[in-house]
Amino acid sequence: MHTSFTHPDLPARSVLDALAAAGFEMGAPSVVTRVVIDTFDGRLHDAGLRLEQHAGAVDELVLSGPVGAPAAHLAWSKPAPSLGHHLPPGPFRERVASRSQERALLPLLTLTTHTRVVSRRDRRGKATVAVVVHDRPTLAEHLAELPTWVAEVVGVAGHDDAFAGAIARLSMLGLVAAEGDMVGVVAGAAGVSLKGRTSSPTVPLAPSDDALLAYRAVLANLAHTIDDNLPGTVADTDPEFLHELRVAVRRTRSVLNQAKGVLPDDVREHFAAAFGHLGTVTSPARDLDVYVLGWSAMVAPLQLPDPRVLDRVRKEIERRRNSAYVTLAKELSGPTCRGTLDAWRAWLADPAVEPASPRPIGPVMARRIAKAQAVVLAHGRAITPASPPEALHDLRKDAKKLRYLLECFGGLLPTKPRKAFVSQLKALQDNLGDHQDAEVQLAELRTLAHDLHKRAKADTDALLAMGRLSDLLDRRRQKERDAFVDRFASYDTKANRAALAALLADAEAV
C-alpha cells in the first residue's frame, strides 16, 4: 500500500509539523541515495519488479513487486552486482537472476533525497502506518525540474484504518496526490524511463521546419545514442550496448544517404563512408553475440543425449566472440573511430552551418519515404524462388532504410497510423532477419567445423552434432525462405500502400 503526495508551494516542514502534532513519531533525518537498477532491456521492470540500491542510514538492495507483496531487503554495502548471479544464494538471487539471466544489471537512475520517516504506533508499540517524507530530491546527470518534496504514505498489512487516516490527514492539508511511489513520481517529472535504457530515434519535428535543421536534429539525437552506448561497448558490459550503438550507426548512415540536396555533399559523403567503416568494424562482434545469445535455444531441438558434446564448440564461439570484442574495443578507442566521432560532433554543434536555400522538411521527407517504399516493393516483387539469398539480404537492407526514415523522421507523421504501418513493415523485416541470421550462423558453423577438425580440436561426436546443427540451421533458413512469399504478399497490399500514402499526405502538403 503506497500513496504519494506533493505540493508545489508548501514546504516539507509543514507536513512533518502536521504529522508530529497528530501524534506521529519522528524518525531521525538521513540522506539516502537510491540507484534504480535493471537490465538494458528492462527485464525486471517487465516482470513487475524494481531493484534499487540504497545507501544512507541503511545500506541495502531492495527488490519490490509484485503489487501486494512486501519488498525484499538484502543488506549490501558493496558496489551493485553487475550480474544477478553475483548475488548471494537465496531467494533474492533466485528472483533477480531468473529474470536478468546473462544480462548485465545497469544503473538507470540515481536519486538522492533528505529523508525522514514518521510513524504512528499502536499501544503495543508497533508501527501501523508510516509517512516517508523525501525532501529536496536530486537526480544525477539530470537538470529537470523536480518536485521539491514527495511524501509517501506506506501502509502496514492489517492496518487499513491507520493508512486511510494518514491519507485523510494529508489530504486536509491540501496536498496533491501523485501517481506512483516517490521514485516513480520523480522519474516521471524528469522524463526518465524506468523500463530499461531506452533511446528513441524520433525527435519532435514539424513539416514546416527547415530541412537542414531537421536533419541535424535527427542526426544529433543519433549521435547522442552512439555516445551513450560507446563506453558500455568498449567495456563489454552487456551485448545490448553494441546492438544499440550499431543501430544508431546504421540509422545515421541511412539518414546521411538520404540527405542528398539537404546536407553539403562533402559532409554527407565523408561521414557516410566514415560511419560505414564504423558499421563494418562492429559487425563481427555483433554476429558472434547473436550466436552466443541464441546458442541454448539453437541447440535445444537437437535433444542431444549428452549436451556436453558441443561444449568445446560453444566455448570456441565464446572465445571468438571475446576476441572480436578485444579487437572492437581497440578499433573504437583508436584514432580513426575517435576522429570520426569527434569531427561529427563538431559539425553537428557548428553554429555556422546554415541552409543555403531554406525549404520545409515535410515534402522532402514525404518524397524520400515514398521513394524508399517504391524500392522495397520493386525489389520484393522481383524475388522468385530462384533468386539467390543475397536478393533477400538486399531487400532486408531496403526495408531497414525505409524503417529508419519512418522512425527518425516520425515526428513529422501522425503517431498511431505510423506505428501501425511500421508494425506491418516489421513483420516483413522479422522474416528477412531470421533468414539472414540462419545464413550467417550456417556459414560461421561450417567455418568453425573445418577449423576445429583441422586443429583436431573436435571429436567425432562433436562433429556429428555440428552436422545436425548445420542441418537444423539450413532447415530454419529454408523455412524462412518459404515463408517469405506470404509475408511479402501481406505487406504488399493495396490497403497497406494506401495507408502509407495517407500517412505522408499532411507532411507532403506543406
| Number of residues forming the site for other proteins (CB under 8 A) | 31
| Cis-peptide, bond into residue 8, ω within 30° of zero | no
What x-and-dash track marks residues 112-151 binding other proteins by CB under 8 A?
----------x-xxxx------------------------
The amino acid that residue 324 corresponds to is A
CA quadruple 210, 215, 216, 220: dihedral positive or negative? positive
As measured in angstroms, the least distance from the Cβ of 332 to other proteins is: 37
As measured in angstroms, the least distance from the Cβ of 133 to other proteins is: 17
Q: List Cα–Cα distances, 47 to 44, 63, 97, 293, in angstroms.
A: 5, 12, 12, 20
Instruction: Please tell me whether residue 482 binds other proteins under the rule CB under 8 A.
Output: no
- Burial zone of 74 (CB within 10 Å; 0-12 exposed, 13-18 middle, 19+ buried): middle
CA 32 to chain centroid, in Å, comes to 27
Rounded (5°) CA angle 120-124-127: 30
> Which of 143, 157, 352, 386 contacts other proteins by CB under 8 A?
157
161 vs 354 by CB, closer to other proteins: 161
Query: Coil, strand, or helix at residue 388?
Result: coil
Instruction: Please tell me whether residue 79 binds other proteins under the rule CB under 8 A.
Output: no
74 vs 463 by CB, closer to other proteins: 74
Stretch that binds other proteins, among 89-97, 108-116, 136-144, 294-302 (CB under 8 A): 89-97
Instruction: Count other Cβ atoms within 10 Å, centred on residue 489.
Output: 11
Structural contact between residues 136 and 155, judged by C-beta atoms closer than 8 angstroms: no
The amino acid that residue 212 corresponds to is L
The DSSP line for 286-337 is HHHHHHHHTHHHHHGGG--SSGGGGHHHHHHHHHHHHHHHHHHHHHHHSHHH
| E strand or H helix that includes residue 485 | helix 460-491
As measured in angstroms, the least distance from the Cβ of 30 to other proteins is: 16
What x-and-dash track marks residues 32-71 binding other proteins by CB under 8 A?
-----------------------------x-x--x-xxxx
> Which of 89, 204, 261, 335 contacts other proteins by CB under 8 A?
89
As measured in angstroms, the least distance from the Cβ of 164 to other proteins is: 15
Instruction: Please tell me whether residue 78 binds other proteins under the rule CB under 8 A.
Output: no
126 vs 260 by CB, closer to other proteins: 126
> Which of 33, 47, 55, 93 contacts other proteins by CB under 8 A?
93
Instruction: Please tell me whether residue 90 binds other proteins under the rule CB under 8 A.
Output: yes
127 vs 304 by CB, closer to other proteins: 127
In whole angstroms, give the CA distance from residue 284 to residue 300.
24
As measured in angstroms, the least distance from the Cβ of 35 to other proteins is: 17
Instruction: Please tell me whether residue 183 binds other proteins under the rule CB under 8 A.
Output: no
Residues engaged in binding other proteins (CB under 8 A): 61, 63, 66, 68-75, 87-95, 97, 122, 124-127, 155-159
